[in-house]
Amino acid sequence: MRSLFFEDVNRLGWRDIPAPKVEANHEVLVSTIAASCCYVDTMIISGNSPFEPPFALGHESVARVIDKGDAVEGLEIGDIVSVPYHRTCGVCPSCVAKNPLNCHEKEVPIFATYGMPDGSDFGGMFSESYRVPYASHALVKIPASVDPLAAVAAGDTLSDAWNTTVPHIRNKPDARVLITSNAGFGLYAAQWALAAGAQQVTYVDDDPLRLSVAKDIGAETLTWSDDLEVPPVYDVIINERQGEKSLRFCLLAGAYGAVVENVVIYLEDVSIPIEAMHYTGVTLRSSFSPTRNFLPEVIADLEAGMINPRAIESEVIHLEDAPERLVLPSHKPLIIFDKTVLKEASRDLAG
């Protein structure tokens, strides 16, 4: 089967590798319907990660169950599922305590994830098929009324964007929200924040295309520059923009008691304005996303039509073109493995 490998900095390639099979009674085998990129893939591809090539890439996809072990319950062959980017057993003390990124199950290494070298052989999601362990717990079914392509990022960025906005705004419905971005995550966050009823959503970026998408979905926009300043009026702030200055900008934009969610992976320490934060009582959370914890709520909100994530798509990519196209900037490309899902989708593969 085909699997897209990170071969070297800015070089990707399809490899023909043996098709995976169910190896344990708790596993399922899924075939990929569609996959997408998150900023972590961009970091890996451009050489800005600790990971040495080669390895199978991809950790964001929607898939179909094509085989299952004897102990798998609640899933049938043919079910369309969202697969969290992180693997989780569901029964170890960490998973029970809702800390799935610290899963202690021995067969699932700490922070086990697809598409990055983690000492396992589960591979990447830019593959025609892959195995999912502890599938009864890990997988969340996508209802027939939800466009599978709308849920392509539900296992990663779409849910992380939900988690950094919706619960905060439900606690404070008149919240003002500030989002700094330079990828697709920030646009998802803007969609969720607006749909959750935020009083104001300000989206900050320096890319004209993403700024126009943000405007189209109803956000106010500001063009990023290193000396940009805003008044400290924001209650919920999401930093998704690479660089130390963006984090500082966010931490200084908080109203009293604000929450700042940092989703940027800084590869070295950065300084924070702790004195100003102390006076405003700003809470900073910086974390990978324990996506499985809130994936069912995200799918339910998609089913309720709360947002249309497809408004964020930047392009639809043929498999043949993926190695060349994925090294180019594109905030939310969609890579289609199963063209039958395009029958009812709003876009086709023209171009």
Residue with tokens 């039958």: 340
- With CB under 5 A as the contact rule, which of the stretches 119-127, 151-159, 201-209, 303-311 interacts with Zn ion? 151-159
Q: At 81, list the tokens.
A: 């599922």
The verdict on 158 binding Zn ion (CB under 5 A) reads no
The number of residues that bind Zn ion (CB under 5 A) is 8
The rounded distance, in Å, linking the Cα atoms of 259 and 281 is: 9
Q: Which residues pair with 141 in a beta bridge?
A: 81
295 neighbors 140 (Cβ within 8 angstroms): yes
- With CB under 5 A as the contact rule, which of the stretches 156-164, 238-246, 254-262, 312-320 interacts with Zn ion? 156-164
Q: At 10, list the tokens.
A: 């800015």
CA distances from 120 to 3, 12, 37, 78, 178 (A): 16, 21, 21, 26, 38
User: Which of positions 99-138 make contact with Zn ion (CB under 5 A)?
Assistant: 103, 105
Which 3 state secondary structure label does DSSP give 246?
Answer: helix
The verdict on 154 binding Zn ion (CB under 5 A) reads no
- With CB under 5 A as the contact rule, which of the stretches 30-38, 45-53, 267-275, 297-305 interacts with Zn ion? 30-38
User: What's the closest the beta carbon of residue 308 comes to Zn ion, in angstroms?
Assistant: 21
Choose, by CB under 5 A, the member of 92, 237, 298, 341 that binds Zn ion.
92
CB closer to Zn ion, 103 vs 140: 103
The verdict on 35 binding Zn ion (CB under 5 A) reads no
41 neighbors 132 (Cβ within 8 angstroms): no
The rounded distance, in Å, linking the Cα atoms of 116 and 130 is: 14
Choose, by CB under 5 A, the member of 156, 205, 240, 301 that binds Zn ion.
156
Choose, by CB under 5 A, the member of 95, 140, 149, 335 that binds Zn ion.
95
- With CB under 5 A as the contact rule, which of the stretches 19-27, 90-98, 123-131, 172-180 interacts with Zn ion? 90-98
* Residue 349 CA neighbour count, 13 Å, CB half: 15
In the chain, % helix, strand, coil (3-state, to 5) comes to 30, 25, 45
User: What's the closest the beta carbon of residue 93 comes to Zn ion, in angstroms?
Assistant: 8
**Interface residues with Zn ion (CB under 5 A)?**
38, 40, 89, 92, 95, 103, 105, 156
